[in-house]
Chains A and B, each alone.
Chain A
Amino acid sequence: MTAAGTLTGATCPACGAPVEAGDGFCESCGTELSPPVVSTGAPGYVPECPVCSVDPSSPPGGITADGYCESCGRKVPTGRDHAELDLGPLAGVTDRGLRHQRNEDAMALASAQTPSGPVAIAVVCDGVSSSPRPDDASLAGARAAVQVLLAAARRDEDPAEASLAAVHEAHEALRRLGTPSQAPSATYVSAVIDAAAVTVCWLGDSRAYWLAESGAIRLTTDDSVAEELVAQGSLTEAAALASPQAHVITGWLGADLAWPQPHLRRFEPPGPGVVLVCSDGLWNYRPEAADLADLALPAALTDRLGAAGTLLKFALDAGGMDNITVVLAPFPLARPQTLPRRTAQ
């Protein structure tokens, strides 16, 4: 998809009526002009069996309505296996990785023009593999949260309050998917980048980082056994991550948790840089902010999608043990040069 118009003289993609750059909705037909985008895969994606489609000796098999290969019985991946989202100012990529059969990560991005300037929104959820339907859980959480955050941004509301409302809405969406004994679950991290600050809200071990030439820091602390051991001073970070308990998380969204306790942080960047929001499929291989900055900069300052692809390739080359999701957004936000577009392969 190409840009439907420039900032001046932009038109509604649905009805062609002229629209203002800051409008959330077309004044003429009501179409949402900059809707949030979610990593559900490209429209028209045709699933095919990853095993039989590359095996010449295997008979050509269809995919059943319930998503299995008619020949080998393999659960066939959906369009979520690899998805790229590019909203101009911010961009992200999510990938199945090399070891998991499906991508249980999900991301949702949005951008808005507000009276106080542009706002970029990113939500990343990582489905908890030991829970039922973790892929549905992450998608439901990301989708519910981004809508709350975008609506609040358009109304110029306080990003901290909006972030708490969004994680609450995401939790409600997951509760509706299950019961306390059968609870689809996911981690959660959101970042709202506006003219003044970066507001981060999280639960679990998906992370946000600030990456800049002047210095890189991690913005989140994990709800995980490993992090608690480090906090107690009983283990170094490297030792904690090497322990078998490293990935046991102590916070998540799901119907088995009545009162999730999300964390909130407001960060005012000292200068220009990029915000990285990611799942543990990336940071497992480079937990240190400075190391991630080395990988992402300076490309991420100008080409977010390209830099996200670089980080993804790094994680895949390092083993791709888990699903990988990488979202990058600059600070300060450049004014968007194109209307939203979405690509996937």
Chain B
Amino acid sequence: MTQSGFTVDVDQNQYLPEGGRDVSAIVTVTSSADAAGVHSAAAGTPASAEIIIIDCSGSMEYPHTKIAEARAATAAAIDVVRDGVWFSVIAGTNTAWPVFPPDGSMAIADVSSRAAARQAVTGLRASGGTAIGQWLSLARQIFGAYPAQLRHAILLTDGKNQHETPDQLQAALRECEGVFSCDCRGVGTDWEVGELRTISAALLGTVDIVPDPSGLAADFAAMMRSAMGKQVADVALRVWTPQHATLRFVKQVAPTVDDLTARRTPSGPQAGDYPTGAWGPGESRDYHVGVEVNPAGVGLEMLAARISLVAGPPSAAELLGQGLVRAIWTDDEALSTKINPLVAHYTGQAELADAIQEGLEARKQGNEEVATAKLGRAVALARESGNEDTAKLLAKVVDVVDAETGTVRLKKKVEDVDEMALDTRSTKTVRVKKAQS
């Protein structure tokens, strides 16, 4: 482990056949279990700020337990906020307003502010529509007034974003990107998986379904605990590539598949930054980087990508670690045709996520043939890679005839909750034990 508390490891087959262009590597980033504290927090200033965003649309009353459990869950999350952390609670309908502190400021957490917040939350009532872009914009405004380094929100909704256009939501999201991160939860089965996934992906957070409102409190407390554990803010992968090379993609592939390719911010000659959000101690994530290079002659070596892990603003970024992706051209076929096991594994996991999402979409459209083929492929991939959680979720949507070949039949009757759980969790991956090199 380096002094920064981070390591960057690259796993790849560096050998290309004559004329070969495609270089693929898995980059594993790991933070040490006892990472030094948040970088350069000014003395006496809380480094973290938390906002809980609660859906108070009319549907939260049906069943009535939904709004009651949401109130209880918010209180549970408030209880976990560490002393000295800025926090506030927002209610959202077709508009948004501050619940605590009611003046739209942030409170510094202590025994009395947490009690006052819990009290304020008991007054939440459900009525009105759903305009999530408005909720996010209010959170952004509140965060903007406080110089915290770690800004994190929890967003709960039970319905679709009906009272604003998708463009309005996109515009609000664009403004929030890089300002704060957001974990999203959908309660019940009337919300849109794709919509929440878009929000959580843009804001570098997680997304999940909470089928039963009674599960909310435990989930909220866990999310807040995880947020309190984050120590290093605004970490990015800075990827340098040679002249005339194309960076085809940068994807997070563990613990979930998350395509970062479109998130590039230029950060110098031939280099761009890809956000990874905040890191807590003992975390490990894998990234798949694909580069297309101009081939050089047999026997030549090229640096296909230099992967730097950086923290802080692009102008004064701190280097936390570095790894090299190489390309060496060879006429030895035994070397150039060797498949890297990690690259193969994560290529399969990404295909698994795609197959599930495309299969479910086809099923919705009534295209049973495509749905059966895609979900069958997903069953085979899940089996092959040992992704048991996903295999179980798939088995609630299809009858598995033969997992190995991916022979399945669509179930006649599928619970909404099972379909949504499969969709939401389709991007979850499993890791493989690294091959000894």
Residues of A within 8 A of B (CB): 52, 58-59, 64, 66, 68-75, 99-101, 129-130
Question: By the criterion CB–CB under 8 Å, are A72 and B324 in contact?
Answer: no
Question: By the criterion CB–CB under 8 Å, are B299 and A73 in contact?
Answer: no
**In whole angstroms, what is the CA distance A73 to B296 when docked?**
11
**In whole angstroms, what is the CA distance A215 to B302 when docked?**
47
CB pairs A–B below 8 angstroms (24 shown): A52-B243, A58-B243, A59-B243, A59-B269, A64-B303, A68-B302, A68-B306, A71-B242, A71-B270, A72-B243, A72-B244, A73-B241, A73-B245, A73-B303, A73-B304, A74-B301, A74-B302, A75-B301, A99-B297, A100-B299, A101-B297, A101-B299, A130-B332, A130-B335
Question: By the criterion CB–CB under 8 Å, are B296 and A74 in contact?
Answer: yes
Most A C-beta atoms less than 10 A away, residue of B243, B298, B303: B243
Is B300 an interface residue when CB atoms closer than 8 A count as contact? yes
**In whole angstroms, what is the CA distance A191 to B38 when docked?**
63
Which B residue sits closest to A97, measured CB to CB?
Answer: B299
How many A-B contacts are there with CB distance less than 8 Å? 48
**In whole angstroms, what is the CA distance A64 to B296 when docked?**
19
Q: A100-B299, A101-B300 are in contact. List 19 more A-B contacts (CB 8 A).
A: A52-B243, A64-B303, A68-B302, A69-B242, A71-B243, A71-B270, A72-B243, A72-B244, A73-B241, A73-B242, A73-B243, A73-B293, A73-B302, A73-B304, A74-B296, A74-B302, A101-B296, A101-B301, A130-B335
> Chain A residues with Cβ under 8 A from B301's Cβ?
74-75, 101
> Chain A residues with Cβ under 8 A from B324's Cβ?
66
Question: By the criterion CB–CB under 8 Å, are B299 and A75 in contact?
Answer: no
> Chain A residues with Cβ under 8 A from B306's Cβ?
68
Q: B289-348: which have CB < 8 Å to A?
A: 293, 296-304, 306, 324, 332, 335
**In whole angstroms, what is the CA distance A100 to B299 when docked?**
5
**In whole angstroms, what is the CA distance A66 to B324 when docked?**
10
Which B residue sits closest to A71, measured CB to CB?
Answer: B243
> Chain B residues with Cβ under 8 A from A58's Cβ?
243
**In whole angstroms, what is the CA distance A182 to B237 when docked?**
30
User: Closest CB-CB distance, B321 to chain A, in whole Å?
Assistant: 14
User: Closest CB-CB distance, B265 to chain A, in whole Å?
Assistant: 20
> Chain A residues with Cβ under 8 A from B299's Cβ?
99-101, 129
User: Closest CB-CB distance, B23 to chain A, in whole Å?
Assistant: 11
Q: B255-270: which have CB < 8 Å to A?
A: 269-270
Question: By the criterion CB–CB under 8 Å, are B300 and A75 in contact?
Answer: yes
User: Closest CB-CB distance, B288 to chain A, in whole Å?
Assistant: 20
Using known A-B contacts A72-B242, A73-B241, A130-B332, determine if residue A99 contacts B298 with beta carbons closer than 8 Å. Answer: yes
Question: By the criterion CB–CB under 8 Å, are B300 and A68 in contact?
Answer: no
Which B residue sits closest to A98, measured CB to CB?
Answer: B297
> Chain B residues with Cβ under 8 A from A66's Cβ?
324
Q: B23-46: which have CB < 8 Å to A?
A: none
**In whole angstroms, what is the CA distance A58 to B245 when docked?**
14
> Chain A residues with Cβ under 8 A from B298's Cβ?
99
